[in-house]
Amino acid sequence: IGGDSMKGKVILLNSEYIGREDETLGFEILMTLLNSLLKRNDKPEAIILWSTGVKLMTSQSPASAILRELELAGVKILGGVLCLNDLCIADAVSVGQAVTMDDILDLILHNEVISL
């Protein structure tokens, strides 16, 4: 019981918005979540972005600025290299770093994962 409380938290984002119906509302929810997270002391160890979520790491995304602030506050911002390459945006990444599936597995198998 006590062991799990020592685990770090990792947030997994697989798209550019939260939810399934309304992308505009979903993006607003995501931005509100990231801004609120920045103000908290209990930040996750990492935010992993994969699938189309890696688009948030590019300078074209309004989310990149808040992700950069989270990174400066000690949160690892990690994007799946397969996804970045497949979407042809690896060169457009302005925040965080590209990681392999092995890197992602190391984090998700040894931390509490919150998938949004």
- 6-10, 18-22, 42-46: range with lowest mean pLDDT: 6-10
Q: What whole-number distance in Å separates Cα of residue 114 and Cα of residue 46?
A: 11
Tens-digit pLDDT profile for residues 20-42: 889 999 999 999 999 999 999 99
CA 69-100-3 angle, to 5 degrees, is: 75
The structure's pTM equals 0.91
pLDDT at position 6 is: 56
Phi, psi angle pair for 68, to nearest 5°? -65, -40
Model confidence band, residue 4 (pLDDT cutoffs 50, 70, 90): very low
Mean pLDDT in residue range 63-84: 97
